[in-house]
Amino acid sequence: MQSLLRWSIENSTPQQDGDRQPATQQQKLDTEIIDMILGRSDAEQMKEDVDAASDRSKSEDERLAALDHLEMVGVERLD
């Protein structure tokens, strides 16, 4: 959380007040932090579910759970 706060402060634009410091150089976004906040994209989740469902080394319950999750992601997408 602290690194997210630091990033937001460093990448915010200063107000027009003369006592504010000039904007610092923007840093590249850390995709891990964004993934923690927003979660993985639907496309990534669907790919993982398809891979898990088609993996014959997994148990039937794991494969069915992946298919159920794939269905739920698809239903959420339609809403």
- One digit per residue, pLDDT tens: the chain, 79 residues? 788 888 888 887 666 555 556 556 667 777 788 888 888 888 888 999 999 999 999 999 999 999 999 999 877 666 5
3-state SS class at 42: helix
Q: What confidence score (pLDDT) does residue 60 get?
A: 95
Task: Specify whether the CB–CB gap between 58 and 52 falls below 8 A.
Answer: yes
Q: What confidence score (pLDDT) does residue 32 get?
A: 81
Alpha carbons 10 and 35: distance in angstroms, whole number: 20
Q: What confidence score (pLDDT) does residue 61 get?
A: 96
Query: Going by C-beta distance under 8 Å and a sequence separation of 6 or more, which residues neighbour residue 67?
Result: 49, 53
The token duo for 51 is 């891979």
Query: Going by C-beta distance under 8 Å and a sequence separation of 6 or more, which residues neighbour residue 11?
Result: 26, 27
Q: What confidence score (pLDDT) does residue 75 get?
A: 75
Q: What is the span of the domain harbouring residue 48?
A: 41-79
Residue 16 in any domain: the answer is no
The token duo for 29 is 């976004």
Residue 45 in any domain: the answer is yes
Q: What confidence score (pLDDT) does residue 18 get?
A: 57
Number of folded domains that form the chain: 1
Residue 71 in any domain: the answer is yes
**pTM confidence score:** 0.52
Residue 65 in any domain: the answer is yes
Q: What confidence score (pLDDT) does residue 31 get?
A: 79
